[in-house]
Structure 1
Amino acid sequence: MSTASDIQSLHKDHQDHFKSQQTKDVNYRIKSLKKLKAVIERKEQQVYQALASDLGKSEFEAFITEYNVITGELDKYIKKTNSWSKPRKVRPSLLNFPSKARRYPEPYGNTLIISPWNYPFQLALAPLIGAVAAGNTVTLKPSEFSTATSQLLQEIIDEAFESQHVKVIQGDADVAKELTSLKWDYIFFTGSPPVGKAIYQAAAKHLTPVTLELGGKNPCVVHESANLKVAARRIVWGKFLNAGQTCIAPDYILAHSSVKNQLVENIKTEITNFFGSQPKDSPDFPRIIRKEHFEKLVEMFKNEHIITGGAHDMEELYIAPTLVDEPQRDSKVMENEIFGPILPIISYQSQEDLINWIDSYEKSLGAYVFSNNTDFEQWFINRFSYGGGVINDSIVQFVNERLPFGGVGNSGIGNYHGKKTFETFSHLKGVVHRGTWLDIPVKYAPYSGKLNLIKKALNWL
């Protein structure tokens, strides 16, 4: 674990490196990204081994949700960083005639990224790639709970970058507290709302801008018009991927009372189709990250009516895909975001029922509707505020890089993905370039007799 002295020394090294202007060289950025990609590709199997060690992920799931996301981002950034870094023309104001106007992307400077344990490879490197491409230095603090992946990240970063450019600092909450006590030019945090609020408070002392990727209790509404077989399959996939430890996973189902029973049967069938009659033996069903989280999850479904699942094994950190029937609003399973393989299902009859349930929570990071009724779909989109969502699927909003990803209200501040990550880590500096061949004197004092002329000119514009 790094000491306060180590952290402060690294922070000073990064400040000095940024002041040297080296990171503003686009070729330097692209060269760094190419080296990172080469190191990651050499260590592909080690990535899968680390994710299996930390979360029990299969190689397929690790590739689709983590490794391939990062190599794809690197390919895009290596290709696009040069063009994204160029000044962007905007239409000039006639009030400045003759002139041109530009927005100049410039790096913020020294950035801090604090990443979580649930997708420990992807959620650490995706913002890091954008920060490097934008010309910043990066200090990355990965989660202390995904130990194998955090150690591998440190090895990858040490091999790919100069330490004064990008560096990993490992440690617990005390290390995070020490890091956030320093003055950064940008902080990017992915984690829970309570910790996000603490990060925000620390950043406010230095007026440091932040991106906070948090979470929430994501509703999943199944309308009476829905294709129930497809809905069940897509809900089971989105919910039980990574054993439910996904910030945008469906957190609870609100199913119309006329289709609820059939939906339940379809969900039970799909769980078996995905993971067999004994999910514990499936190579495709991951494990819970640690004992403390396991115990918290098991407490959630005690004394609840379990439709299917409920089996658990502390030694293996295994909890079966579990469907909970009609929990009360004040129950433990409905109190906060679940973040595990537990899925409550609640019946509703009217839109008012949906409003009462969904509005009883803070704004969520995701929301999902299964329906073949376009009026209902539009009503839902317009009525509720949430970070992003999908009609007739779950969690796939994350896949489209052209849809900026982020929360609203309690579920987060700011967004990223694709080009948006570059922009998140860039200050777009506006500059007007005035010509000197004409200098209209009306703006200069003395102003006597000019007011009516100015008013007429502004009305004409």
Structure 2
Amino acid sequence: MNRYASILNCQKEFFLSDATKSLAWRLDQLDRMERMLRENQQAFCSALYEDFHKPPFEQLFEITVPLGVIDYYRKNLVELMKPQHVAIPKGLEASGNAGVIYKEPYGVTLVIGPFNAPILLLLDPAIAALAAGNTVILKPANTTPKVASLFQALIPKYFSPEAVNVVTGGREEISALLELAFDFIFFTGSSTVAKVVMRAAAERLTPMVLELGGQNPTVVDQTANLDVAADRIAWGHNAISGQWCVAPGYVYVHRSIADEFIGRLKRSLVTMYGEKPQQSPDFARMITERDTQRVSSYILPDKVVHGGNFDIDGRFIEPTILYPSTWDDPAMQQEIFGPVLPVLPYDDLAEVVHIIKRKPKSLAAYIFSKDQAAIDLFLSGVSFGGGCVNQTNLHCWIDSLPFGGVGYSGIGKYYGKAGFDALSNTKALLIGNPDLVLDVFPPYAGKDIAASLSLFA
């Protein structure tokens, strides 16, 4: 028997009792989650630093964002849980019928989190799942062992096992979990692992959300505020040492301003991380030596215009700019997920859009411009999950903006109302008038079928 079957069965039986459907139960789970985060903030921050030297701002970000999500659901749950009355054909409505949408929880939800934001990106989906009335089994990333160990210690102190449980480990544990019949799966991570999750889900037709990544395009045109663009791209690409699914993956810069932009980008990097970024308290480490080796292999010495140094044993790669890059370069063949930024010159934005739209659809995309026509061309021509104009990365923490990918970069959206909806089954009902005579049944001879069907017009 599967070693995790008892955990799932315990939660399944509890869910089938309908206890999770009440407002009181959902609010209680949110309160427990908030207490766990607030009472153990320093322990979580220390674990993040021990795992990969995550700097203080990025540590606190992982605590404050889930707290904000909890606050959103606490304030909006009553409204989100209400049955929603919708318009139906006038004839049916006039004859006493009504259309109503109910949101019901799926059941036992498996949440598999990534390493790069191992608290935030594990708990945000879990919070949405609990708010929607689901039970949750958490699977933290095994490459952040201190954070995973902390979850293993804290979850039993704050939650009943039938409501929230945690399983730690790596590939073997994930494989065992995926053998089970979950009611919903929420996975955040790489496209490679997502295919494994999706195949397992397909065996049972399990609904899911996949939050993935990709090479996120960024455009800086000749009208852009270069100081703003340089600062935001430098931070957006190098936060978490580039290990951020929404990080700008490469930059197309108009040839007429390319040299100036690169000069300002260099200045931004030095301002943020100093002349010796390996000594900066604000620059994280790569998650493993293997990933350090992988990303360092993308550095072509003849194209390095800034940085280029790395230390495999120290899991460090210096913020690096490669220019002029082309689509033949190693760094352009896949999501980099590290602090190496290819910059490509361009002359015609329409040609850039033509190229990008033929690549796998990305999780994010960004454009820096003051030209509305150029912005419109980019936004209408390129398909991506979400993004920013004259900004990077921050769109993904605004609860009113649904977050997620498209195709290769993900399936489904969450955050705020979108998260509640994603973790809820939409049960659509036509509430009939019990006294309405509607004879549209055989035999049809002699009946005014058109009059009956006019109710649906």
**Structure 1 counterpart of 2:422:** 424
The residue correspondences of 1:270-309 to structure 2 (distance < 5 A) are 270-309=268-307
The 8 Å contact of residues 304 and 327 in structure 1, kept in 2 or not, is answered as no
Return the offset for 1:158. Answer: 1.4
The 8 Å contact of residues 45 and 59 in structure 2, kept in 1 or not, is answered as yes
SS in 2 for 1:368: strand
**Structure 2 counterpart of 1:358:** 356
**Structure 1 counterpart of 2:36:** 39
Return the offset for 1:241. Answer: 1.0
**Structure 2 counterpart of 1:334:** 332
SS in 2 for 1:410: coil
Which amino acid counterpart does residue 124 of structure 1 have in structure 2? L
**Structure 2 counterpart of 1:70:** 66
**Structure 1 counterpart of 2:76:** 80
Q: Deviations over 1:164-218 (max 9, x none)?
A: 2111101111111111121111111001111111111110110111100011111
Return the offset for 1:310. Answer: 1.0
Which of residues 4, 9, 18 is equivalent to 2:6? 9
Tell me, in whole angstroms, the C-alpha distance in 1 between the residues paired with 2:13 and 2:179.
19
Which amino acid counterpart does residue 87 of structure 1 have in structure 2? P
**Structure 2 counterpart of 1:214:** 212
Return the offset for 1:399. Answer: 2.7
Q: Deviations over 1:132-175 (max 9, x none)?
A: 11111111111100111111222232112111211110111111
Distance 1:441 1:229, change over 3 A: closer
**Structure 2 counterpart of 1:369:** 367
**Structure 2 counterpart of 1:24:** 21
Tell me, in whole angstroms, the C-alpha distance in 1 between the residues paired with 2:10 and 2:200.
22
TM-score (normalised: structure 1): 0.95
Distance 1:168 1:293, change over 3 A: same
- Residue segments in structure 2 that go unaligned for 5+ positions in a row: none
The residue correspondences of 1:219-258 to structure 2 (distance < 5 A) are 219-258=217-256
The residue correspondences of 1:32-431 to structure 2 (distance < 5 A) are 32-64=29-61, 66-96=62-92, 97-431=95-429
Tell me, in whole angstroms, the C-alpha distance in 2 between the residues paired with 1:304 and 1:359.
29
Tell me, in whole angstroms, the C-alpha distance in 1 between the residues paired with 2:452 and 2:221.
56
What is the root-mean-square deviation of aligned Cα atoms in Å? 1.7
Return the offset for 1:360. Answer: 4.6
Return the offset for 1:278. Answer: 1.3
Tell me, in whole angstroms, the C-alpha distance in 2 between the residues paired with 1:87 and 1:441.
26
Return the offset for 1:95. Answer: 4.6
The worse-fitting range, judged by mean Cα deviation, of 161-170 and 259-268 is: 161-170
Return the offset for 1:13. Answer: 1.2
Tell me, in whole angstroms, the C-alpha distance in 1 between the residues paired with 2:165 and 2:315.
32
Return the offset for 1:78. Answer: 2.2
SS in 1 for 2:177: helix
Return the offset for 1:62. Answer: 1.4
Return the offset for 1:456. Answer: 7.8
Which amino acid counterpart does residue 18 of structure 2 have in structure 1? Q
SS in 1 for 2:13: helix
Tell me, in whole angstroms, the C-alpha distance in 2 between the residues paired with 1:25 and 1:61.
35
Tell me, in whole angstroms, the C-alpha distance in 2 between the residues paired with 1:155 and 1:93.
55
Return the offset for 1:86. Answer: 2.0
Q: How many residues align?
A: 455
Tell me, in whole angstroms, the C-alpha distance in 1 between the residues paired with 2:51 and 2:302.
29
Identity of aligned residues (%): 35
SS in 2 for 1:259: helix
Q: Deviations over 1:239-276 (max 9, x none)?
A: 11111110010000111110100000000111111111
SS in 1 for 2:298: helix
The 8 Å contact of residues 368 and 389 in structure 1, kept in 2 or not, is answered as yes
Q: Deviations over 1:300-330 (max 9, x none)?
A: 1144510010111223211111001123323
Q: Deviations over 1:44-85 (max 9, x none)?
A: 111110111112112222113x11001111122223223312
The 8 Å contact of residues 36 and 156 in structure 1, kept in 2 or not, is answered as no
Tell me, in whole angstroms, the C-alpha distance in 1 between the residues paired with 2:286 and 2:176.
28
Tell me, in whole angstroms, the C-alpha distance in 2 between the residues paired with 1:355 and 1:127.
33
Return the offset for 1:433. Answer: 2.2
Distance 1:138 1:304, change over 3 A: farther
Tell me, in whole angstroms, the C-alpha distance in 2 between the residues paired with 1:75 and 1:428.
24
SS in 1 for 2:10: helix
Q: Deviations over 1:209-248 (max 9, x none)?
A: 1100011111111111111111111111111111111001
Which amino acid counterpart does residue 48 of structure 1 have in structure 2? C
Runs of 4+ more than 4 Å apart: none
**Structure 1 counterpart of 2:447:** 450
Tell me, in whole angstroms, the C-alpha distance in 1 between the residues paired with 2:90 and 2:446.
22
Which amino acid counterpart does residue 91 of structure 1 have in structure 2? A
Return the offset for 1:359. Answer: 3.5
